[in-house]
Each structure stands twice: as C-alpha cells, then as structure tokens.
Structure 1
C-alpha cells in the first residue's frame, strides 16, 4: 500500500502539506520524525511528520519525501496538541510555532548557512570523505548555504551529512554565533601511572626533599584525591595549587618530572555538584500551612496562586513540592521571566537536588539545546528543567508540576515574531494537556491572575509575613520638587537619599538603585531651538551612551556620533536632558568616591557570564552599590542590602497605558522587597514629584489589595481585562499613506460584524520603527462572546484586505491579549 505523510513545514503557510513515501521508506515513517522535503522549486526543508496515511491529495500531485532524519520521533503527541493550541489561540501558523519550538539545528533549510566551529578539535579521522570535503570547503569560503553544499557534493540531499557534522561539533549553524555557547573547561591533576603505588611514592618523597613546594603539592594531591580510599575523586588544578600555596611553575616542574599529569575536562552549563546534598530546610509554620493549602487546592483546581510578600520564603515551598513530585516519579518545569534569574535559583536548587537539574534557554547554542531536547525526550535525563519561556516547548514526559515564578512579569510575553504567546497562559494549557499542576508565584500578582483566584478559577494561598520574622522595609518619599525649590538636590539624588546612602556605606551595608532607563542621557538637545536628534529609521529620539560615545536608537540599533552643533540651527549650545543608569553611575562615583559601584542593564549584561560576574561580585560584597534597570527588581536575594532607591517614580506613572499603574506598583513593590531580607529591617526611598499619588501611597502601605480593587473598578468601568478581552491588530508599511488607508479599510471590514468592539485606527506613541509606519486597531470584546468566531472574522477581514491589490503589500500583525 502506498503511504503518504502530512508534514509541518517550518514556514508561515496556513496548512499541512502531503508528501508521498518512497517504496524503500514505506513502513519506516512515524508521526514526529523529521523528513527532508522539497517545497517550491529548489528549496528543501526538514519538516515534521504529523500524520501517516494512505490518501493521496486531490488538489496537487504529491512529491516524494527525500530522506528520514530521525530513527525515532523527536516531537511527541502532547507537543503536537500544544503547538496546535498555540497556533489556534494566537492566530498564527503551526509552521511558525514549529520555528519557535525547535532548536535551530533541528530545522535546517536550504537557505541555512553553515560555518566552521572554532572549537572543533580538527580530528579529521572521524570524518567521512564527504564530511571532510564540506569542512574543507567551509574553511576556504568561511560560510556556505545548504544549497551550495548540495551543489559542491553534486547530491540532492545533504541534510544527514550536516546533521552528522553538527553532532561531531565540526560546524555550526551561522545564527548561533551571535550568542555562542562556549563550554567551560577546567584543568585537573592526577598522578601518572608510574606513581600510583605506595613504594613509588616513597621514592618520590625522598627525591623532593629539597623542593618543599613540589612536595606539598604532591601531598595535597594524594590527600584531596583520596586515592587510597574507596572513592577517589578528581582534583582541580586551581584548588590544588591554592591549598598547597604553590604556583603553576611548580606544578609544571612535577609534570616535567613525569610524576603528575594535567588533563582537561568539559564542564556543563550547570557544573556537576560534587558536594554532599544539603538537607531540606524545615518549613516555617507559615510555609507549612501554605504547602498544606496548595495540596488542598490541587484536589479541585489545576492552578494555584501562591501570593507571598517578598522574602516570605516561596522558594522553600517550591522546593518541597518539587521534592514530592520527583519522589512520585514526576518531572518539574520551573519557568522564570528572565534568563539571568536562572543563576541564583540553580545554585540554590542544586544544593538540594544535585545533578538532576537541566537548564534551557536561548543563550545556549544549537548543539547544546539539541542535547537537552534529546535528554528530556528520553525521560531519563533531568527531573527538573529551569528556563525562560522557550522551555515550554521541550518534549516532556511525565510532566507533573509547573512552577511559574514572578508570574506577573511582562517578560513572559513574546512580542516578535510569531507566535506572540504569553508563557504563563500557555504553560497552564501545557499542564492541562500533560495532566500536571501549576503554581503561580509572586508578591504582586497580575490583576488578571488575582481576579481568576478571587473568582474561584484558581486556588489561592497567601503568605503575608516575611520569613524569620523580618519586617517589610520602611518606605519613604523624597519630594524632588520641594528639594529643587530649596536648591538642595545634588545631581539626580535628593539630600534624603544621599544621606541614607552615606549611612548605609558607613555601616558596611549594600545599596540597590533603580532607574528604568539605560544609557547616559535620554536626550541630547539644542539649548537655542530645542531640536533633539532623532533616529532616521524610527520616530524616537536618540539616547546618549557615554561609554560608547554614541547616540543610539534603542528600537533599531541605529547610532551616530554626537553632533558638535545643532543640525537645525547650527548652534553649538548642546545639552543633555534627563539621566540613565550610565549617568547615575558617574554621579555616584563623584559623590561617593570610595564606594565600589556597578551597573546592571542591557549594556553591561549582554553575555550570561557578565551577569553572573555581577551577581557574584554583589553577593561576595565586592560591590557596594548596584545601579540598574528592571533587572534589579526581579527575584534577587542578597542579605546585606539595607537601602533601595527608586530614582524616578514619575516616569513609570506617566506611561500611556491602562496597565501603567499596575506595573508601577509591581516594579516599586518588587524592588522595595530587595531591602532588608535577612538581618534587619530595610529602607526604601522613592524619589518623586508627586509623593501623594495614590499608587505611591499604596506601595508605602504595602497594600496590594487596595491597589487591586481600585484598578479593577477602573477596568470594569472602561471595559478592560479581566472583564473584556483584547486583540490588537497592527498594520505596517513603509509608505505612511498606505499604512493609514490600509488600517482604515481594515476597520471598515471589521466593523461590519464586530461594530462597536472595533476601536481606531490610531498611530502608537512611536509611529515608525525600522522605516515601517504603524497603525493600531484595537478589538475589545466581552468575555461572554465567542473568541473563536471573532478570530475567524478577523482572519476573514485580513484576507479580504490582502485580496485588494492596493493593500496587498500591507503587513498585518495580530497580538492576542496584548500587554
């Protein structure tokens, strides 16, 4: 019987395509395998088999699949269900979901560019003739597309060869070089084979009497390695030299004499935990009650909100639930909003759970992500996966618990490209497919989550006190206007904050300063005519970065050298307006010259190692003051932070968005929670021109409930979530007039059926990005209405717009549940 397969292609096409299985491959194809198929005239892709059947397509003649890449499926049936839900709910194609879900090494296409791996050990003996030819050609030409490789070898299908070269780490997919994973290599020391007996060592001891440091090195090596015990262990070169008080030169002498040898060992992203496991902490009364209440909630609810104030010990509750889940044979997914946050939580969890923790996020290269993917797929690798939102797409087996820490964070939302999913909401659906439970943890729940809990959709557990009886920080306001009137303010710091910083430093305490704007100065302005240099590709002013000596656009990356005179009027009177983290760091160095200051923002943490170095420096008290953007508000736990300063609260409150007050409360409450977490009550100083603003007052009172009820009333009155649902459509084109006309035409089409639920079109606050003009159309509809029908009508309307030749080139972006 002739076999056919329906495949998912890694492109934005609205349906599956059917291919014929060659006779020689009949019986070997399985749903979830990758196969090589031709799509279009010359393009080839690694597609995923969704269905195997015996029905030929009616509309076209099916092409043959060219090769099977996997002996067993790499995508599970539960994953397919999850992908299909994502595609349906977020109004994108399943091919776009596939692109987001799979590591790039698993989704090769004929346009994929291959480059040499600089870490390849040049062991050409392990390569076949064809593989060697590819590697040689890439080394000569630096980069080759799969299509070019196909032409060089004069063979149609090269995907199995490239797969083999990726596995041998001889090549890399070019896109992975941006954030290339570099394995950590450690050097270890051991005795050579000639010196492993007691007799041979006795002779060495006699010979080294006149070289005391070398003798001490040898003694330390024997002691640390426990070589004569039942369980010898490996000894790191650095730790050995440190213990012996010896240098690398002295170690080299022992190597030269043939007594010891040095060997290298690759260490994974999470180092093997060699120490004994730490006993689990005994839960406090509050934590034990919370755990019991979560268990009770899980009897009738799939999802439970753990609403605990900052430093209440939510992580200890997570650890207990993880322990229970693993003991019952289940797996755990621990989602965090930022890649950077994985560092602290990994270090904490591995003390309890050892080496059963895996990490998955976009900082790893393709090969590393494929290894983790395969490990999870086997079900034998990790019991716990920690990761950012992309970890949702791993091929879990026996997933029993999902923890979403800091569930309120906007970072869980994917903005571009498709699928524009929210990881929190998608994780709940994944858990439902997997029959798993979900804990949503936060000190400041999103209003939608809290509303769901109060409506009985989610379980709801509260932890109102800090762990260990530590009080919540005292929060004060510093009135910027009043200090300016009295001419007391020094640069960006009020006298109140300046004095508090000096006292904290005198007491040997640490400080965190929060300013939600990176760079040196937000604007570079002409004093005479007021003109501000703008990005040539976006409708936004350029931000000055002093370290780079550049004016940069934070939206498209455009940059210029600072002008010496105004382009509009020629005046040389140019001034910087406002302040970013870079300027704050400079002002601090002038005011507090003895303080050790560090900055944490996108500019200083582009690599994971840079972030880890900053965290380690602050944790080891090598840094006195940490200045940062939103990064410093998220989940950091340092016991010596006594003071937190919010440098410009008004900036958060003035944002034109219905969620602005909620976000401002969350940011200020979260960063406040970094103060006084262990030893004593901390202090928080909020600088503002409006100290009586109701949101600031609620932050001071730590009154989430009051903020929630006030915001909920506003949203009910003006038809916003959680009472109404939102879908935002953005029309994009390089021609401004065509963008406007296209958006208006789309509104007309939508209003035929959706009438008053359609609002707009309107230009957003930044109406041009990367030379594309943008216009937004907002659809607001009652929760009782059918989202399926509305989405179907939106798709029909976009289809009709595209059928109009005038607007065929307009791009329409769909964002479900925009934030």
Structure 2
C-alpha cells in the first residue's frame, strides 16, 4: 500500500503548508478539512489538512501525524477554497487565515508538563536555591506547567534552569494536549426502577422516617416529577434546600440514579410567531425589482433612505430562501446592531436564527460552528467573522450597512474586507447577494450605476414619514454672542429641553471616546504622551487614567507638571465621557446613557444600553459611531452632532465620503415614527460642501461629485490601492527599508508607486512606521502583475541582512 502524505495548515504566519506522513491507522480519516495533531517545534499542535497526496518530500523524512481528534472534518472543502483565494488576494498566509477563521479550541496545541523523576533520590542532590524550591514543589504538586514554575520562582526565563535539571535527570518534560471543546452537560436525578412501584415507594417513605432530610428531598422530587421522570439535580437541591451530601447518600442507597444530558450554552428564543409587517407599495415594488434583477446579476444594491423599511424586505427574501431549504448569512458591521436585528429575526424565524461574533466565549463559538455545520441554524447573523462558518447550502448573503468601515479587518492579518469576501463566497456556491445601505460606499454606488451590480432605490420612508429637518449651527458666531454652554449651543440645549419635556428622546453624536483627547500644562505647554506611540494620552475621568487608544498603555492622571512643577493642568477637547458628565451636571434629573467602546465592553453590554433606550428608560443617549449604524428607535425626536468639523479634517481621500455617511446615518435616527425629526449640526465651517449635501439630502449629487474627484485623482473605484507598511523598533530602519522596497518595485505600465512617507502617527506599539502606496489599474491582470512584483520586492528587501527583521505588511484595498 502506497504511503500517504498530508499538507497541513498550522495557525502561524508562515508561508505554505507543512507535510506529514499519514499513519496506516488513520488513512480513512485523512481527508481535506480534517483536524489533526502533529509534532511542531517540540510541541504538539493542531492543524487542518489541506491536501492528501503520495508525493514524498525530498530532502527530509516527514514525521507522522499523531492522531485525528474528530470523526468528521471541521472545515469544508468550500471553506478551504475560500481560504486559498483570500491568501492570494489579500497577500497573507493560510496559517493567518486559519488563526482568524476557526474557533480557538480547534487550534489547541500542547502545554509542557513538568514532573519529578521518581527513580531518583532527590534528597542526595546538590541543588541551587531555585532548583531546590522547584523540586520541593514537585514533591507535593506532582505535575506543574511552565507558567506555574514562572510564578513559583518569580522569573520568566526558566529554560536554562529546566534544561540543566533535565540533563541531570532530576525532572521529566512531556507535552500534553490542551483541553479542547467539551459539551456542556447538566446532571439529572431520577427515581430508580425498583421504587417506581407505588407499594415500594410507600415502604421507602416508612424506611426514611428517621432520615427526615432524605424524606423531604424525596417528597420534593415527587412534586417535580410525579411520573418518576428525570429532573435537574440543581433544581432539586434548590427546591428541597438540601445539601449535595444528602443527595449522594440517597444515590448510594439506590433510591436515586444520576445521569447527564448535553445542553446548549446558547440562549434559545423559542418557536417563531411568524409575525410579519405588511409591505408598502414602494417596498413591494423594490422586492419585485430585486427578484427580477437577480435573474441576470448576482449582486444587487438596495439603496434606501434611513427608515425606508429595508429590513422588512430582507426578511421577505430570507423567507423565500428558507422555503427552498437553503441557508442565509446576514452580515452586520457592529455587534451593537445584533441586539435589535436578532429580536426581529427570531420573532419571525425562531430558533432557526443563530448569532456569531467575537464576544462569545471559546466554547460557545465551537457550539455555533457545529450547529451551522449540521444545518441546525438556517440563518446566521453576525459580524465579519461569521463568513468563515461552515455553511452547508448557502443561498443568500445579506450585507447590511455595506458601506461601513468595520467590515475591513485591520490588524492582525488577514486584512480582508468582509463585504468583498462574502461576495466571492456567494459566487462560489451560486448564492445571491443583497447589499443594503442608506449611504452606499462610493465603490458599490459606482458598480451599481455602471451595471456591474443591480440597483434598487427606496426614496421614501415607511408609512410616509418625512426625512428629518437638518439645521447647521454656526459655532463661531454662537461663541461670539456668548450662546455656548460648555460644548453645547443654546439652540441645541433648548431643543433638547423641549424634546425631553415632551417625553421624547435625544441622541448626541461625538465621534471621540474618553473624557478629553489630552491634558496640557498651561505654564509650559507640556502634554503627556504614550511611551510606545507618538500620540497624546486620552484622559478618562471615570477611571482616573490617561490612556493610549492605540496600544492600551495607561498611567494615573498627573496633578503636577513633571517639567515645571506647575499644578495648572487642564483638559483640552471633549469626548463622549465629558459630554455625559457635563450634560448630567446641567440636567441632574435627566436619564443619560453612553454607547461607546468604554461603556459596553461585555457580551451583553450593547444589548442592555440599547434595550434601556428602546424601553424609554433613557432620555439622552450619547455615543460614538456606534449610534449611527442602523439602529431603529421609535421615540427619537432630536439628534445633535456636536462637532462636525472633527469628521471633515482627515487627510484621506475617503474623508468626505466617511463624514457624509456618518452624518446622514446618525441623522436618520431622528423622527422614525409619528413626528418629523430634527437634526442640529454644530460646526465652524458652514461653507463646507459636504455639510450642504447633508443638509439638503442631496444624495446623488454628493456621489456624482465624489466619483468625479476619484476619477480625476485615480482613486478607487477607478484604481485599486495597495498600502505597504514597514515597521521596526529602530528609528530610520523602516524608512530605509521602504526606500529599498520602492527601488525594487520600480514603476510598471499597470501601476504607480508613491512614497515612501512616514504617517501622521509615526510610531505605534514601540515600532516606527513607513508607508508605500501602489495605485493599480482596475483590472484583474494589472492587480496580479502588481502583486507579483510586490512579492518579489518584499523578498529582495527581506534578503538584505540589515532589513531582515523589518516587518513588511501589505494591505489590499485599505479603508
């Protein structure tokens, strides 16, 4: 029988795969997508089989696969094909995709276990102090892990100590595979067969006359299970107010028997109620148009103003797909949005709906993964990582708020765009794609208007509601006329007072979290900066800390300037925390909540804030861009944008697009039901064209102007962008390597190289950055040629000794 070999993906940022020999006993399990455990760098590591073949590698003898932990593949061949495409398109490794795509418990490696050599008389050994402490500890603990030894000895570098003890046969080292997924079980108690008879049960009660506690437990059990069926052990103990010892005694006597059943870690919604709203005539026409355009195009853009009822159209299409027995992937940019949408979907589709995002723990993620793989979930709602799930029969992909920048993964690799990757995934299985947004990306808008995508527009809000009235407030003149209180114009405060007095709600948008962007000494101008990044530390009043939002560094607030010893330290600027603090001081009776990353860090944090606002328990909601994304609140009368200028001042070709989208989206939260909403935008730049487009609701005019400028300056969607970041801890080295990269690239007929430059923030997490940009002609062949040239240039730079440790990070289609 010919020897089989497996090319295995391991979860490391290393190019290519690793070849291992398939053991005879595992030939039947050795198929693509199967998980296996192998020896790698003196550890045991889990990997995914990419390919099985009979080609023996030259130059080395492959080690054998240790074992196959599962009976079925955890990754489908469809997923592997998607991974291969992503690694090519986004210029990353398969190991990086494996690391990002699969739940952590499917990547479990091994841990080093340290034990004492029992054949050796350790009392006669001449040991140094640390060795003696470790040996004494092992006499009592039997087995220790590396982290235990580090904590015991109070040092991190323990390898030389362990090596010496191993060479002297004092200790033994072995690798033990970490625990992987364990199903959640609950313990059940039931009456044994011998006491199911009524006469036997009566005799049992007589026998327990002296065991009063046991008799009481038996009575409670019969109340819970009159037919003698199994009941939850925890419920029985709680109802009977009994100890586990009492129950154990009854089990030992043969009165009860204990069993286990597997239960879900996930909250179930119950059966669907099949509630549905009646579509308006406009929605019905849009629905018919989408179906019609899907006959010729795979992707359709649904461009509907805020409050136009796009979600109801999604649900009609989802129901049609479910009736054909297929699955649906519903992508959202933010976890915050799932709180509202999941309720609406579960109300209609019940337990067919699953959720998947980064806030679930490792065990929950495995359970969701398996339910999708088994087909238990027909609809999967999630953020960008949900597209990696193992769909069996995908029929529809809905990408809501398709314009949102959160769909693009930044760090670490793979730096993929979930919208574009989901479109490719759908094309692999002939599934249809529906993009939805009130403010589409310029790329999607252009594709729709040039015929690449289908296009359907909803220009009216549902039930005839008017779009909100938008008013610009000139903060320069308001300040001159003394009409500003802290960061609020008097006009905004008056509108808020009117709304709250009328039992209506207010949303305030400030796209900066924390209390203040920085603090400064008024005497000498000193400002605290991050020790690892070239940024000022952000003041967080609630925790009394100065924090870096790039690397997480934090320090206590300073009360005296370290440069001049002055105590005149003041805060500059304002974030959501300061807005909340100052508004509460002005209106102590108002119920105010905050929706930003600092306020909602737990899995249910978003949901609690959103539900409290929905239920009318909050008068004013203050937030960052989290409040702009598709949330639907019935009672919001007023939206205030506190500083529009912050959105317009970025040195980026997408700055106008992003500012327009954020302001239009947050404006759309106002006036959803009954009454027309109002939006007040505070600005110092009344003449900025983007503000004019927003105020007049001139959507198509904005996109036409933006597309004209993009065409003139060769930006997407007319050219593709590849941004290469080089980073190193030594100043100047990344810039020198960047010049080397530019020289190696040259300029080709299909692409243009720009740079290198140092970005505005030139150091992050202790590493200095340099950037190179490549503009590529927007066709497949040009992109392939540019990437091939870039790979060769990266190899040439990495081959130079002085630049060997410089990180080179390509980012395809950056946002």
TM norm. shorter chain > 0.5: yes
CA contact (8 A) 2:751 2:777 kept: no
Does the aligned pair in 2 maintain the 1:428–1:438 contact within 8 Å? yes
Task: Specify which of 289, 297, 300 is matched with residue 296 of structure 2.
Answer: 300
Q: What residue in structure 2 maps to residue 695 of structure 1?
A: 690
TM-score by length of 1: 0.83
Is the contact made by 1:306 and 1:441 (CA closer than 8 Å) also made in structure 2? yes
Change in 2 beyond 3 A, CA 1:93/1:510? same
Q: Distance in 1 between matches of 2:662 and 2:633?
A: 18
| Contact 1:402–1:437 (CA under 8 A) maintained in structure 2 | yes
Match of 1:542 in 2: 537
SS class of match (1:51): strand
Partner of 2:182: 167
Q: Does the residue aligned with 2:360 lie in a helix, a strand or coil?
A: coil
* Other-structure match for 2:315: 319
What are structure 1's unaligned runs of at least 5 residues? 115-134, 170-182, 198-221, 239-248, 257-263
Give me the whole-angstrom Cα distance separating, in 2, the residues matched to 1:102 and 1:637: 32
Contact 1:113/1:143 (<8 A) preserved: no
Match of 1:709 in 2: 704
**1:34 is the counterpart of 2:51:** no
| Alpha-carbon shift at residue 689 of structure 1 (Å) | 0.6
Partner of 1:474: 469
Q: What SS does the aligned partner of 1:677 have?
A: coil
Of 345, 348, 354 in structure 2, the residue corresponding to residue 349 of structure 1 is 345
Which secondary structure state, in structure 1, belongs to the residue aligned with residue 737 of structure 2? helix
Which residue number corresponds to residue 24 of structure 1? 25
26 and 250 in structure 1: CA distance in 2 versus 1, 3 angstrom threshold: closer
Return the alpha-carbon distance in structure 2 between the equivalents of residues 503 and 442 of structure 1: 31
- 1:371 and 2:367 equivalent? yes
> Relative to structure 2, which stretch is displaced further, 267-276 or 789-798?
267-276
For the Cα contact (< 8 Å) 2:266–2:364, is it kept in 1? no
Which of the two has higher C-alpha Rg?
Answer: 2
Equivalent residues in 2 for 1:718-733, closer than 5 Å:
718-733=713-728
Whether 1:602 aligns to 2:597 is yes
Query: Number of aligned pairs?
Result: 735
3-state SS of paired residue (1:67)? coil
Matched, 1:786 2:787: no
> Aligned in 2, Cα 1:112/1:395: closer, same or farther, shift over 3 Å?
farther
Residues 806-817 of structure 1 mapped to structure 2, 5 A cutoff = 806-817=802-813
Match of 1:210 in 2: none
Q: Is the 8 A contact 1:726 1:778 kept in 2?
A: yes
Separation of aligned partners in 2, 1:680 and 1:39: 65
Change (3 A) 1:142 1:406: farther
**Counterpart residue number, 1:628:** 623
Q: Tell me how far 1:139 sits from its aligned partner.
A: 10
Residues 1:405 and 1:519: Cα distance change in structure 2 (over 3 Å): same
- CA distance in 2 between counterparts of 1:227 and 1:715 reads 74
- In structure 1, what is the Cα distance between the partners aligned to 2:508 and 2:241? 47
Alignment equivalent of 1:668, drawn from 663, 666, 687: 663
* Cα deviation code 1:385-406 (max 9, x no counterpart): 0111111111111100000010
Q: Is the CA contact 2:596–2:624 (under 8 Å) kept in the aligned structure 1?
A: yes
Q: Is the 8 A contact 1:310 1:673 kept in 2?
A: yes
**Shift in alpha-carbon separation, 1:643–1:267, aligned structure 2, 3 A:** farther
Distance across 2 between alignment mates of 1:574 and 1:712: 46
* Structure 2: distance between partners of 1:367 and 1:143: 28
Report deviation, 1:361. 1.3
- Structure 2 distance, partners of 1:508, 1:3, is 72
Partner SS state of residue 736, structure 1: coil
TM-score (norm 2): 0.84
CA-to-partner distance for each residue in 1:298-322, whole Å, 9 max, x for gaps? Answer: 1011101011000100000000001
Cα shift at 1:550: 1.1
For 1:23 and 1:609, how far apart are their aligned partners in 2?
48
1:64, 1:276 → 2: CA distance? 50
Cα 1:443–1:226 shift into 2, 3 Å = farther
Q: CA RMSD in A?
A: 3.7
| Runs of 4 or more consecutive aligned structure 1 residues displaced over 6 Å after TM superposition | 138-145, 151-157, 225-228, 249-253, 264-267
Distance 1:583 1:527 in 2: 20
Residue 24 of structure 1, CA deviation = 2.8
Secondary structure in 2 matching 1:786 = helix
- 1:456 Cα deviation from its structure 2 partner: 0.5
CA distance, structure 2, for counterparts of residue 468 and residue 302 of structure 1:
30
Alignment match, 1:738:
733
Query: What is the CA-CA distance between 1:39 and the residue it aligns to?
Result: 2.8
Distance 1:556 1:34 in 2: 34
Q: Which residue of 2 aligns with 1:337?
A: 333
Once residues 717 and 345 of structure 1 are traced to their aligned partners in structure 2, the CA distance between those partners, rounded to angstroms, is 40
Instruction: Please list every run of 5 or more consecutive structure 2 residues that lacks an aligned counterpart in the other structure.
Output: 115-140, 151-155, 199-222, 247-259
